[in-house]
A and B are shown apart, each in its own frame.
Chain A
């Protein structure tokens, strides 16, 4: 699986620890859902975030830079309902266990 604009252009999707569904959500709500979901991800675990907001391509990398998580990259996927999805992958920071 090829990703763009992140730290890992190739990623084994089987390693995903959590899927965060932000379809239909605008920026702030998506970020809030992601923040809550990341609390349950183990340290160094990978979260997959599915978004319909095109701003996600820039919002999630910026969020990672501010919070210490690692933005691995994203890809675009066609979707019959939404037209296009932004699918992002984020690795949780190593010093933060699940809570």
Chain B
């Protein structure tokens, strides 16, 4: 496998950590990665919210313990994880332009490294050329 396209829609910290670690493993294995963040994920990956810990409902009541474990593993900083991934190889991170409009997110609100991209271009270019497609 040489290329991977990922569509990430969920916006919880734990879900996006899973996306980030998958990107890291892929790029470290010389797999090119294209990621299309949509919906809640775009909402989350803004400068105002990316550092907030927001866990899925199933972790309710366990937030402090999970936060401590994420921190112990160095997985508590999403912008840093995504920056490491971009610096490690062929990775492009996209924010869905439609989702941004719905969420009221402007390009300057996004964390560093996210590019605005339309669904059609991602569908016809990135997904069409990828060896595998994953969704989160």
* Stretch of B18-26, B102-110, B113-121 contacting A (4+ beta carbons < 8 Å): B18-26
Q: A29-B73, A29-B74, A32-B88 are in contact. Are A66 and B24 (CB under 8 A)?
A: no
Contact of A26 among B21, B28, B84 (CB under 8 A): B21
List, in ascending order, chain B residues with CB within 8 A of A24's CB. 73
Interface flag for B58 (CB, 8 Å): no
How many residue pairs at the A-B interface have CB separations less than 8 Å?
A: 40
Number of interface residues, chain A, beta carbon within 8 A: 15
Q: Is the CB of A63 within 8 A of B28?
A: yes
Number of interface residues, chain B, beta carbon within 8 A: 15
Residue-wise interface mask of B (58-97) relative to A, using a CB-CB cutoff of 8 A (1 in contact, 0 not): 0000000000000001110000000010001000000000
Complex Cα gap A62–B25 (Å): 11
Q: A35-B88, A66-B1 are in contact. Are A28 and B25 (CB under 8 A)?
A: yes
Residue-wise interface mask of B (12-40) relative to A, using a CB-CB cutoff of 8 A (1 in contact, 0 not): 00000000011011011111000000000
Q: Which residue of B lies closest to A66 (CB)?
A: B29
Query: Which among B1, B25, B30, B75 has the highest number of chain A CB atoms within 10 Å?
Result: B25
List, in ascending order, chain A residues with CB within 8 A of B21's CB. 26-29
Q: Which B residues contact A (CB, under 8 angstroms)?
A: 1, 21-22, 24-25, 27-31, 73-75, 84, 88
Closest A-B pairs by Cβ, 3 of them: A28-B21, A28-B25, A35-B28
